Amino acid sequence: MFTGEMNLKNWVKESLPHGLPKIADANLLREENFFSARMDCLLSIFHLALDCCAELPDQRLYMKDAATKLKKIRDKFLEDANTLRL
């Protein structure tokens, strides 16, 4: 599917943020409830994933740091969704 220097990681990186609907599962984007909060959450997760798969091992996040960031992403999503619910 990819040619030359293009690979899955580069395709995702170049697609963000406007191409999120092309790379995320459509089921995650279908429901309209909390759509903006969900989009922000997914963008954050994709950026974190890109940080975790850096070319050089010493540039990658430690799993403890990745877990901390995931928790912050979750907390922000829940806060945003709760705000939109009000």
Segment 21-40 mean pLDDT: 87
- Are the beta carbons of 31 and 67 closer than 8 angstroms? no
CA–CA dist 77, 82 (Å, integer):
8
* Lookup: tokens for 50: 């890109």
Secondary structure, 3-state, 3-31: CCCCCHHHHHHHHCCCCHHHHCCHHHHHC
The pTM of the full predicted model, rounded to 2 decimals, is: 0.86
Q: Domain limits of the chain?
A: 8-85
pLDDT at 73 over 80: yes
Which of the four pLDDT bands, split at 50, 70 and 90, describes residue 31?
confident
* Lookup: tokens for 74: 């979750």
Q: Which range among 19-33, 40-54, 55-69 shows the weakest confidence by mean pLDDT?
A: 19-33
Q: What is the pLDDT of residue 52?
A: 95
Written as one string, the DSSP assignment of 31-84 is --TTHHHHHHHHHHHHHHHHHHT-SSGGGSPPHHHHHHHHHHHHHHHHHHHHHH
pLDDT at 85 over 80: no
